């Protein structure tokens, strides 16, 4: 099952064993159950299961803010939550970058 491109966020079954995620066997990371993640890590196969979370290109985010887009509009563009945009903005500021529009 590994080696494929990352599935859309909201994956409902483990990418290694195919089992559904439940409270007893939750998603841990990379689309894997905890036990499958531990096994893949132990045998050096994590590279077969790319990270599934979406990321925000901080430079692109800064350009969009400079163009006057709101936090919500930027979130829609990156298909993330507005909170994720605010966190990325905070990290940019903390790293010493100037963020246009600067507000939260």
pLDDT tens per residue across span 38-80: 999 999 999 999 887 788 888 899 899 899 999 999 999 998 8
For 2-103, strand residue ranges (E) read 27-29, 32-33
pLDDT at 95: 76
Hey, what are 63's tokens? 């350009």
Whether the pLDDT of residue 31 is over 60: the answer is yes
pLDDT band at 7 (very low <50, low <70, confident <90, very high): very low
pLDDT at 17: 93
Hey, what are 101's tokens? 């529009």
Whether the pLDDT of residue 103 is over 60: the answer is no
Give CA–CA dist 86/51, Å, rounded.
21
pLDDT at 16: 93
- Does the pTM of the predicted model rise above 0.85? no
């Amino acid at each position: 099952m590994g080696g494929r491109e990352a599935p859309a966020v909201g994956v409902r079954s483990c990418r290694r064993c195919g089992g559904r995620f439940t409270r007893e066997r939750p998603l841990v990371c990379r689309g894997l159950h905890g036990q499958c993640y531990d096994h893949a890590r132990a045998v050096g196969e994590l590279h077969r299961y790319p990270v599934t979370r979406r990321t925000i290109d901080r430079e692109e985010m800064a350009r969009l803010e400079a163009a006057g887009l709101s936090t919500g509009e930027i979130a829609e563009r990156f298909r993330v939550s507005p909170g994720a945009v605010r966190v990325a903005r905070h990290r940019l500021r903390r790293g010493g970058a100037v963020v246009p529009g600067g507000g939260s």
